[in-house]
Amino acid sequence: MLEHKRALGGALTLAVATGLVGAVLPAAATASPFAAESPTGACTHHADDARLRALLHRLTAVDGAPGALAEVRDRHRTKVLTSGVADIDSRAPVHRDSRFRIGSMTKMFTATMVLQLVGERRVDLDAPVERYLPGVVRGHGNDGRKVTVRQTLQHTSGLPDFLTYLRPQDVVRDPLVHRDPHDLVRLALAHPPTFEPGTDWKYSNTGYLLAGMLIEKVTGRSYGEELQRRIVEPLRLRGTSFPGDDPAIPGPHPRGYAQPGANAPLLDITAVNPTVGGAAGGIVSSGADVNRFLGALLGGTLLPPAQLREMMRTRPTGSSDGRAYGLGLESKPLPGGGLYWGHTGDFLGYETAAGATADGRRATVMVNLGPGSSDAQSDGIRAAVETALSA
């Protein structure tokens, strides 16, 4: 989950081996070799569409995901491609309007809301978090008070990631338990900083829990209420919600699965209390909504120009693929040249990625298997996004 899927995947293996998990479902049969296409506009069929269909088929027929979905749009048209199944028991196909847990793509929404508060002069990006959340990070090392709002959003705070210390087998043993963000932050801050604030980059979900707490403190409303008021309602997002403690996914959705070990049967983990992700990874959305959000964000609808520039001011992550991280938004080179903007996401049962280009082309890809899925699956999802954006 949330850039931490390998650890959770390994713990799922441990949990099954030690009897911490309930019923294990049968493995999915081989997916259909043909991706189903559901156009919502006049889409021209060309070689890039065939490549995208082939990538989705590979995800379900070779890489092991039960189902896959890609929603692609530009300024004039939209298409939805699906492959495989939403449910390995009923063999129901993946619904074109599927909702799913978007994991770390939540960070794009969280950062947008913080930057809206910056634009309203209610938050200073370079002020310490201590100003808005007194005492929360004060005692963390010698420099807890120096951690700024910007650093929490850009993963340059040096704050440890709570997912390093949350025992994944506890999540698997009791997936419906409520996890308070203050408790998760305290869990992380009981450990030393990974570096001095602002001197390095390391992905940390803890910073986004703090960002969610900041939103609530400054506005006096819950994160879910602010998400609804600031993003969902203005953009008319029909499939996006912040479920709080509700383990159900509203609307049509694929079952979410994990594979506890190599060649092991798939485990249905659709019902999870999303407070384990919170403002770092707890949103439910759809391909259509994520693409609409990205279009509005990069098109300047959600943020004033100054705040959008700050969001897109990146620093290298040290990855070999050229990724750079802004404030809740990544940039990555396209194979044929140019950049795209977006984020990836993991949550129990789902793996996702989304991206958009400056000319308005957007793509969101989802599979209903994760975490602990293979590197091939992650690579296939990214390849599908990049193929769709390069068309």
pTM: 0.89
As annotated, the active-site residues are 104
Distance CA 364, CA 159 (A): 30
**Cα separations in angstroms, 60 against 69, 100, 255, 390:** 10, 17, 14, 22
**Cα–Cα distance measured from residue 361 to residue 299, given in angstroms and rounded to the nearest whole number:** 11
The edge-to-edge listing of strands for the beta sheet with 362-367 is: 36-39, 78-84, 67-73, 362-367, 350-356, 339-347, 330-333, 324-325, 315-316
pLDDT, residue 5, reads 45
Q: What local confidence, expressed as pLDDT, does residue 298 receive?
A: 97
Q: Which has the higher per-residue pLDDT, 36 or 214?
A: 214
pLDDT at 141: 57
Q: Which residues lie below 8 Å from residue 358, measured CB to CB, with a gap of 6+?
A: 298, 338, 339
User: What digits encode the pLDDT tens for the residues 328-343?
Assistant: 999 999 998 999 999 9
Above 90 in pLDDT, residue 15? no
Grade residue 238 by pLDDT with cuts at 50, 70 and 90. very high
Residue 135 pLDDT more than 60?
yes
Mean per-residue pLDDT, 351-364: 96
Beta carbons within 8 Å of 373's beta carbon, 6+ residues apart = 5, 9, 63, 64, 65, 259, 351, 367
Round to whole Å and give the CA distance between 5 and 100: 17
User: 276-299 burial, b for 16+ CB within 10 Å, e for fewer?
Assistant: bbbbbbbbbbbbbbbbbbbbbbbe
| DSSP SS3 for 84 | strand
For residue 371, what pLDDT is reported?
74
Q: What is the pLDDT of residues 243-277, one digit of tens each?
A: 999 999 999 999 999 887 777 889 999 999 999 99
**Cα–Cα distance between 159 and 225 in angstroms, integer?**
27
- Give the domains, in start order, of the chain with CATH numbers: 5-390 (3.40.710.10)
Q: Does the pLDDT of residue 6 top 60, yes or no? A: no
Q: Which two tokens stand for residue 114?
A: 């913080």
Residues 21-43 have a mean pLDDT of 39
Mean pLDDT, the chain, rounded, equals: 87
Task: Count CA within 13 A, CB hemisphere, residue 366.
Answer: 38
Is the confidence at residue 235, as pLDDT, over 80?
Answer: yes
More confident residue, 76 or 378: 378
User: Given this model, what pLDDT does residue 138 score?
Assistant: 72
pLDDT value of position 24: 32
pLDDT at 139: 65
What 8-state DSSP symbol labels residue 85?
B
Does position 72 have pLDDT exceeding 50, yes or no?
Answer: yes
In 3D space, the residue among 129, 175, 233, 131 whose CA is nearest the CA of residue 22 turns out to be 175
Q: Residue 340 corresponds to which tokens in the numbers above?
A: 């795209």
